[in-house]
Amino acid sequence: MNNRKATLLKYGCSVLAIIALVKLDYSEQIRTTEAGLKIIGNAEGCVRQPYKCPADVLTYGIGTAETSGEKIIQGKVYSDEEIAKSWVKNIKIAEQCVNRYANGKQLPQGAFEAATSLTFNVGCSAVKNSTLFRYARQGDIQAMCNQFPRWVYSGGKVLRGLEIRRQQEKARCLVS
């Protein structure tokens, strides 16, 4: 069993429980709905105790990484409330990027959520000048949605988990 799987089994938390907390306590702070949260949360997974992700970055909760500027305490077991709060903060950062660089306020809900999920995953600097965001700015939603399958590489390799996530993002994008 790999380290991530062992960590999930020992310190995993429920993505659905965190989504419920976000909807209850933070829904007015973000535009992303439950459908978008499920794509992000299910792809990222939820872990209470910090671990090193495949990119060797200290991470906890639902994709909260030390690169997000948050001080992560190694060995700490984070509560659902702490995980929800940090996740909302990081979703807001991704949404702000989509609004600024992809004309997010004008995007249909599904396209906005798909772009937010991608941005949450790869970071604003990776997508802000992308073809996907260019199509979004132009209002060509179909062309934008067709770009998601291109974002499946990590370290020069196609990752099955990214293929699945991008298929879900593309499907959400097309709901627009």
Of 13, 28, 34, 44, which is the active-site residue? 44
Our answer to whether residue 44 is catalytic in this structure is yes
Our answer to whether residue 53 is catalytic in this structure is yes
What are 52's strand-pairing partners? 58
Of 13, 46, 53, 97, which is the active-site residue? 53
Exposed e or buried b per residue across 79-107, where buried means at least 16 C-beta atoms within 10 angstroms of its C-beta: ebeebbbbbbbbbbbbbebbbebbbbeeb
Catalytic residue numbers read: 44, 53
